[in-house]
Chains A and B, each alone.
Chain A
Amino acid sequence: MAISKEEIIHIAKLACLNLSEEEIEQYTKDMQEILEFANRINQVNTEGMDETIGANRKDNVFRKDEVIPFANREILLQNAPSQDEGMFSIPKVIH
């Protein structure tokens, strides 16, 4: 299953990445090689096999849905590239 440049462009869009012409070339080539290698999994008979979801536990983990207030707003905002009046600031969305 060869992957095309167009597919890489589509995937990059889904992943929210801009790729340069060079990167598109490079990743198309890389993906072809990696997927060719990955296709070997089709040699394994998996009939009747379940998918492994968690590594070592199959039970669901529940906890009470409790609100635990975190008072230090400044600490949460300290890494924001842009903030205004105690809020994350972004460009106008609705025009």
Chain B
Amino acid sequence: MELYEYTVHELVKKLENGEVTSTDITKSYLDRIKEKDPQVKAYVSVLEEKALAKAKQVDDNRKAGTPVSQFAGIPIGIKDNMCMTGIRTTCSSKMLENFIAPYDATVIEKFNKEDMVYLGKLNMDEFAMGSSTEYSAFFKTANPWDLSRVPGGSSGGSAAAVAAEMAPWALGSDTGGSIRQPASLCGVVGLKPTYGLVSRYGLVAFASSLDQIGPITKDVTDAAMLLNLIAGHDNKDATSINIEKKDYTQSLINNVKGMKIGLPKEYLGEGINEEVKQAILDVAKKYEELGATVEECSLDVGKYATAVYYIIACAEASSNLGRFDGIRYGYRTEKFNDLRDIYKNSRSEGFGPEVKRRIILGTYVLSSGYYDAYYKKAQKVRTVIKNAYDTLFEKYDILLTPTSPTTAFKMGEKSNNPLEMYLADIYTVPVNIGGLPGMSIPCALDSKGMPIGFQLIGKAFDETTIFKAAYTYEQNTNFRENKPTFKGGEK
């Protein structure tokens, strides 16, 4: 077995035993990247030299008997919208193509303290706006299970890299499903933590009231370990919450007896692929066999969530992206006579079509005459949706839904129809609207051999119950015996 095939919790043991070195592990991944990334194209930048230098430093410390932290020398991939000092942080946009971050995101600071090894920065839809990674300004990432299909998005590079074993784990960010949907389409585990659990400092902002950073991993145990590393209050993010730090690995308990699981019927209705639906019903059955009670319930207002989401997310994006003016950083046009030209031409040349579309939508819903009808109304409907979740969680410990209505679609299939692309997120978006935690766990392959994921939604700050339910499912099933085939590549 190659080193890149292990989970992080297995690699940590091997490092502790002295069976392998960080250099061995890092080299195994760098070789794997060289072998597979020309097909998958998950990485925007590979940090080979820095990674090997860091690995050697950790190995030297271990050899010298210097105490090292638990994850010292463990490699990780980072979505390219998180700032790392001295490293290019592009958001897969022409606007930031040459942007060198002057500081570390809080999550990166935490990894630095652990002496972790950065393999590189991962591709995404430009500014995290998209569900297929086709809107990257640089190149499209392929799904390792079928190279003619999308990996999902916007954290498509992160999910594809973990699925293709080009990183043992990775960070993604999730505004409306951008961790969970690609995790589902690539057959890996993806967690969007509760809004406020992980600091957003140093994450390039898309929609500030919805964005969260979270883990993309091979299994549930790794997700708990990675959440342990990144969760926590941060003075630099006023929306982060100061609560007692939990050890999520304590929630990895193989037991769901007595757990009350709600199955919202609207999530299995119109628009869902039959094979996906069947897979979710099978998961429900499995949970019943394992001693949980699964009951059909209703989240009727969920059908308004996508509309609410695109109004609020685009409004916030149009404001957040106002900072790109071609003056202090980012792309600057060559065609200008005055300051106004610099602003307009830099933005028009630097942003891609989807980003412009969302800026226009966001500007429109915030503009005088439409603010009340769209933005204010959407903020109120957001409250209605949050209340509906609260009511469900009075009765249920956790909700079970599909992550995505379909498995991975073909490249080009939806990229010219924005509304259709937006509907790829119908099952994940409501969770961000509610500020709740949600996890996608792989459960089956469809008849084309493409992964299907199910989603567990928990109460705010109750990642614990999600981990318990996800871990129990994983321990009693065997999805991880399946491996991506890398079929469908051009000859």
Contacts and interface: CB of A to CB of B under 8 A. Distances in A.
A46 B384 contact: yes
A27 B100 CA distance: 32
Contacts of B461: 56
Contacts of B329: 79-81
B299 interface: no
B311 A17 contact: no
Contact of A79 (B102, B210, B238): B102
Interface string B333-365: 000111100111101100101001101110111
Given A12-B360, A31-B360, A44-B301, A18 B99 contact: no
B435 A55 contact: yes
Interface in B391-427: 418-419, 422
A24 to B, nearest CB: 10
B381 A16 contact: no
Contact of A78 (B100, B304, B322, B386): B100
B273 interface: no
B379 A51 contact: yes
B380 A46 contact: yes
A2 interface: no
B235 A41 contact: no
Q: Which residue, A16, A40, A46, A92, has most C-beta atoms of chain B within 10 A?
A: A16
Interface string B297-314: 000010110111011000
A42 B381 CA distance: 9
Q: Which residue, A19, A38, A50, has most C-beta atoms of chain B within 10 A?
A: A38
A23 B338 contact: no
Nearest to B196: A56
B384 A38 contact: no
Contacts of B361: 31, 34-35
A34 B353 CA distance: 15
Contact of A88 (B327, B338, B379): B327
Contact of B356 (A27, A40, A75, A81): A27
Q: Which residue, B102, B310, B326, B435, has most C-beta atoms of chain A within 10 A?
A: B102
Nearest to B365: A38
B308 A34 contact: no
Contacts of A38: 307, 310-311, 365, 374, 378
Q: Which residue, B364, B422, B434, has most C-beta atoms of chain A within 10 A?
A: B364
B214 to A, nearest CB: 15
A30 B307 contact: no
B241 A57 contact: yes
B93 interface: no
Contact of B380 (A33, A50, A82): A50
A58 to B, nearest CB: 11
Given A14-B367, A15-B363, A17-B359, A51 B380 contact: yes
A41 to B, nearest CB: 5
B131 interface: no
B477 interface: no
B382 interface: yes
Q: Which residue, A56, A92, A93, has most C-beta atoms of chain B within 10 A?
A: A56
A91 B338 contact: yes
A53 interface: yes
Nearest to A36: B419
A51 B357 contact: no
A11 B102 contact: no
Given A3-B364, A14-B363, A50-B380, A90 B327 contact: yes
A29 to B, nearest CB: 10
Contacts of B301: 44
Contact of A52 (B330, B339, B357, B383): B383
Contacts of A54: 209, 239
Contact of B308 (A30, A41, A50): A41
B265 interface: no
A61 interface: yes
Contact of B359 (A3, A15, A49, A79): A15
Given A41-B308, A88-B327, A81 B332 contact: yes
Contact of B339 (A55, A63, A91): A91
Nearest to B460: A56
Interface string B88-101: 00000000001110
Closest 5 CB pairs of A and B: A55-B435, A81-B332, A51-B379, A79-B329, A46-B380
Interface of A: 1, 3, 7-8, 11-12, 14-19, 23, 27, 30-31, 33-35, 37-44, 46, 49-57, 61, 63, 72, 75-76, 78-82, 88, 90-93
22 contacts: A14-B367, A15-B359, A16-B347, A17-B347, A23-B353, A30-B418, A30-B419, A33-B418, A38-B311, A41-B377, A41-B381, A46-B377, A51-B379, A52-B382, A52-B383, A53-B379, A55-B195, A55-B239, A79-B99, A80-B327, A88-B328, A91-B339
Given A52-B386, A90-B339, 6 more contacts: A17-B344, A30-B419, A39-B307, A41-B374, A56-B435, A90-B327
